[in-house]
């Protein structure tokens, strides 16, 4: 019983958040693409406030932008893991890293499509 309660101790939860934030900070410091994606998230959020998008559009935007950042972090995990395990060139390692990068690319293209769907007509009307 004591073991069960200790696994749900508030201090343990605080530590898990600390480790999660350390992971985000690591990605922010070491991954230039993540920093670019943070700028995209910031710009899209600004546009959302500027154009007063609907709650449904906010929901779609938040899911899409969060998925983009998460995809970059997953890619970082894959790259770090492969680099730690395999020191020399290995075709299988290259394929794994390429597929992980492709996952991020598909996510980025999807994010761009969502951003264009939400803001494209608003921006074009503002320019005209």
Query: CB–CB of 33/79 below 8 Å?
Result: no
Are 16 and 46 contained in the same domain? Answer: no
Query: How many structural domains are present in the chain?
Result: 2
Are 42 and 104 contained in the same domain? Answer: yes
List all residues 6 or more positions away from 18 whose beta carbon is below 8 Å from its beta carbon: none
Are 62 and 105 contained in the same domain? Answer: yes
Mean pLDDT, consecutive 10-residue stretches, the chain (128 aa), reads: 64 87 96 97 98 98 98 97 94 97 98 98 88
**What is the C-alpha separation between 23 and 18, in angstroms, rounded?**
9
Q: What is the largest CA-CA distance in the chain?
A: 68
Are 10 and 42 contained in the same domain? Answer: no
pLDDT of 5 reads: 56
Are 82 and 117 contained in the same domain? Answer: yes
Are 37 and 16 contained in the same domain? Answer: no
The catalytic residue positions are 72
Q: Is 89 annotated as a binding residue?
A: yes
Q: The whole model's pTM is what?
A: 0.87
Are 119 and 83 contained in the same domain? Answer: yes
Q: Which domain holds residue 57?
A: 33-127
Query: CB–CB of 41/69 below 8 Å?
Result: yes
Q: And the tokens for 64? A: 């899409």
Q: Is 80 annotated as a binding residue?
A: no
């Amino acid at each position: 019983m004591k073991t069960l309660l200790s696994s749900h101790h508030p201090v343990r939860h605080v530590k898990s958040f600390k480790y999660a934030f350390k992971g985000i900070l690591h990605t922010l410091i070491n991954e230039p693409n993540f920093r670019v994606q943070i700028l995209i998230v910031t710009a899209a959020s600004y546009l959302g406030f500027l154009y007063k998008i609907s709650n449904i559009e906010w929901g779609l935007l938040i899911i899409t932008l969060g998925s983009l950042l998460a995809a970059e972090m997953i890619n970082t995990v894959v790259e770090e893991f492969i680099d730690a395990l395999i020191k020399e060139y290995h075709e299988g390692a290259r394929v794994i890293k390429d597929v992980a990068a492709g996952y991020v690319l598909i996510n980025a293209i999807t994010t761009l499509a969502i951003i264009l769907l939400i803001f494209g007509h608003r921006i074009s009307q503002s320019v005209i």
